Chain A
Amino acid sequence: MNTENFIPINILCQHYKLEISFFDNLNENGLIEIQLVDEIQYVHKDSIYEIEKIVRMHKDLDVNIEGIDIVLNLLQKIDALQTELHKVRNRLLLYEN
């Protein structure tokens, strides 16, 4: 597999000053997807935004991985509700002058 778009986990560990177990835990909880290539663990570079958010929640707010999972799920729900609200508001414009 071409690893051009992937970042090795050990680089993330150095960058965020976190143990590898933290990323293993995220993988086990389905929060990130770790790919194994030639015995080296990688994450796709597109997942960096989400990983940074998770790291901030963990480091800044002392939220554990299970808590982060709940927060992310709730944020997803809020996002879906906001999209729905926009749609409903736009439909409402049909009946407003």
Chain B
Amino acid sequence: MAFIDYYKVLEIDKKATDTEIKKAFRKLARKYHPDVNPNDKEAEKKFKEINEANEVLGNAENRKKYDAYGENWKHIAEYEKANQGQTYYNQSQPHEDFTSYGRDAEDYSDFFESLFGNSARGRHRSQQYKGTDFSTELSLDLHDVYTTHKRTLNINGQNIRFTIPAGVENGQTIKITGHGGDGIGGGPKGDLYITFSIKNHPDFKRDKNNLYTTVSVDLYKAVLGGEITVNTFDGKAKLNIAPGTQNGTKVKLKGKGFPVYKEEGHFGDLYITFQIKIPTNLSSKELELFTELSKLRTS
């Protein structure tokens, strides 16, 4: 547990007046308030820090105690003994407090708890507020999001089972209602936001509902035409190659792409690019025949 310099947090001098503290706090709160920085973990952390600093420095009693101890806060027990009979928290005057942003024990540093105890927080809480929203990232591969399925996540020791709909996109966030932090004063629980991070597939690239892949075709089939078997995302498909197929030719397999999000039975398309494989390490006979073919072409 490290000492926290609340003056530094609020970017003020140790001799700052109450007005200066209030001003500094307001300025930083406007910058880092979670409502103006949605999904920004760093801002949320900073907001909690400045809020805590204001709890201490914005209250004359707390500030006095903090200033008296400062970096020697570990000797708090001796201090309490020396000032026996004095109570700091139950007589304090209400001061500015972001009660509406559901805070709980986790929102205060260990340092704060150690110095001011549990009774210092939430003194003026009388209304009901929704609990804190949680957010997490779930890493999946492309196959995981090809079909609708259920998953279990452990969030803060609680197993949460939820459905991942087929076709979710990389970076997409879904909300699981009521699985966030506990509400305050009997308010509703917060929500859980899960953002999907979908890894690249080695063979298939995805753009929304369409898939893209490259298939090698040997030279003879490209020249003469014929049937080949290609891998689609969920199996194999037979394809006819037209005689004289050029390198880079693209074909579309309708409905063989990725499932459309929340539209059951609808799929995008699969785009296949043919890559003509030129034979190497030719035998003398092959070389002879290619030379003959070449002569036929140039004559």
B127 located at the interface, meaning its Cβ lies under 8 Å from any Cβ of chain A in the complex: yes
Q: How far is the CB of B249 from chain A (nearest CB, A)?
A: 18
B171 within 8 A of A: yes
Nearest CB of A to B277, in Å: 20
The verdict on A94 contacting chain B, using a C-beta distance below 8 Å, is yes
* CB neighbors of A among B32-50 (8 A): 33, 35-36, 38
Residues A57 and B33 in contact in the complex (CB < 8 Å), given A93-B200, A97-B200 = yes
Tell me if B30 counts as interface (CB < 8 A to partner A): yes
Q: Mark A50-92, 1 if CB is under 8 A from B, else 0.
A: 0011011101111100000001000100010000001001110
Could you tell me the distance in whole angstroms from the C-beta of B43 to the nearest C-beta in chain A?
13
Q: Do B101 and A60 have beta carbons less than 8 Å apart?
A: yes
A15 touches B100 (CB 8 A): no
Bound CA span A60–B172, Å: 30
Which interface residue of B33, B36, B207 has the most chain A CB atoms within 10 A? Answer: B36
What is the distance, in angstroms, from A55's C-beta to the closest C-beta of chain B? Answer: 7
Count residues of chain A with CB under 8 A from any CB of chain B.
22
Interface size on B, residues (CB 8 A): 22
Cβ of B130: which chain A residues have Cβ within 8 Å of it? Answer: 52
Query: In the assembled complex, which residues on chain B have CB atoms less than 8 Å from the CB atom of A75?
Result: 36, 38
CB neighbours (8 Å) of A91 from chain B are 207
Residue of B nearest to A79 (CB): B38
Residues of B13-36 whose CB lies within 8 A of A: 26, 29-30, 33, 35-36
- Residue among B35, B170, B172, B206 facing the most chain A CB atoms (10 A cut-off): B35
- Check if A96 is an interface residue, CB within 8 A of chain B: yes
Given contacts A57-B36, A90-B207, whether A96 and B200 have CB atoms under 8 Å apart is yes
Taking the closest CB of chain B, its distance from the CB of A29, in whole angstroms, is 17
Please state if A94 and B100 are interface contacts (CB–CB under 8 Å): no
A60, B169: Cβ atoms closer than 8 Å: no
- Contact partner, B169, options A15, A63, A86, Cβ 8 Å: A86
Residues of A within 8 A of B206 (CB): 90, 93-94
- Nearest CB to that of A89 among chain B residues? B171
Assembled-state Cα–Cα distance A75/B127 (Å): 27
Bound complex: CA A63 to CA B31 (Å): 12
Closest to A60 in B: B98
Q: Are A56 and B30 in contact (CB under 8 A)?
A: no
For the complex, give the distance between the alpha carbons of A56 and B38 in Å: 14
- Alpha-carbon distance between A52 and B130 when the two chains are bound, in angstroms: 10
- Nearest-Cβ distance from residue B211 to partner chain A, whole angstroms: 10
27 contacts between A and B (CB under 8 A): A15-B127, A52-B100, A55-B100, A56-B100, A57-B33, A57-B36, A59-B100, A60-B29, A60-B98, A60-B100, A61-B26, A61-B29, A63-B30, A75-B38, A79-B38, A86-B169, A86-B170, A86-B172, A89-B170, A89-B171, A90-B207, A90-B208, A93-B170, A93-B200, A93-B205, A94-B205, A97-B200
18 extra interchain contacts, Cβ-Cβ under 8 A, other than A59-B100, A75-B36?
A: A52-B130, A53-B35, A56-B98, A56-B100, A57-B35, A60-B29, A60-B35, A61-B30, A62-B26, A86-B170, A90-B169, A90-B207, A90-B208, A93-B205, A93-B206, A94-B205, A94-B206, A94-B207
